[in-house]
Amino acid sequence: MATTLDKLDPIIDDLARTYPRTAIDAYISNAGAEYLDPDTFEDEFTEAYQGEHNSVCAYAEEYLADAGAYDQLPEYLRGYLDVDAFGRDLKLGGDIWTADTMQGVYVFHAI
């Protein structure tokens, strides 16, 4: 009988053409292969994966920039924004989780 991981193998191979295999492996390890549904795995991974970043702080800076948060603040107030604390809160609050890499961290949205 084929295991869940056996069913995921062709999907993983396909994803690995676009995404780092180590990021895919981290996602599987975090979720637990036995809990993954081969029918939804690709969509769930691509929705969760937010890329590799130098740090959680670097991800938080990009997140805030993409959300337009910096545009909402006058230039003179931007230095008061504690991006480190925001990144830490994203992680501690369960909004994201990370996996260490040689260059930084893979960031995943918690789904």
pLDDT digits (tens, 9 = 90+) for 14-71: 999 999 999 999 999 999 988 999 999 999 999 999 999 999 999 999 999 999 988 8
Reported pTM: 0.89
Looking at residue 2, its pLDDT comes to 67
Q: Which of the pair, 75 or 26, is modelled with greater confidence?
A: 26
Least confidently predicted of 9-13, 29-33, 57-61, 78-82: 78-82
Instruction: Determine which helix (DSSP H) or strand (DSSP E) holds 93, and give its type and residue range.
Output: none
Q: What distance in Å separates the CA atoms of residue 35 and residue 52, rounded to the nearest whole number? A: 24
Q: Provide the pLDDT for residue 42.
A: 96
> Is 90:96 a contact under the CB 8 Å cutoff?
yes
* 29: CB partners within 8 A, 6+ apart: 99
88 pLDDT tier (thresholds 50, 70, 90) = very high
Does residue 1 carry a pLDDT above 80? no
pLDDT at residue 6, rounded to an integer: 84
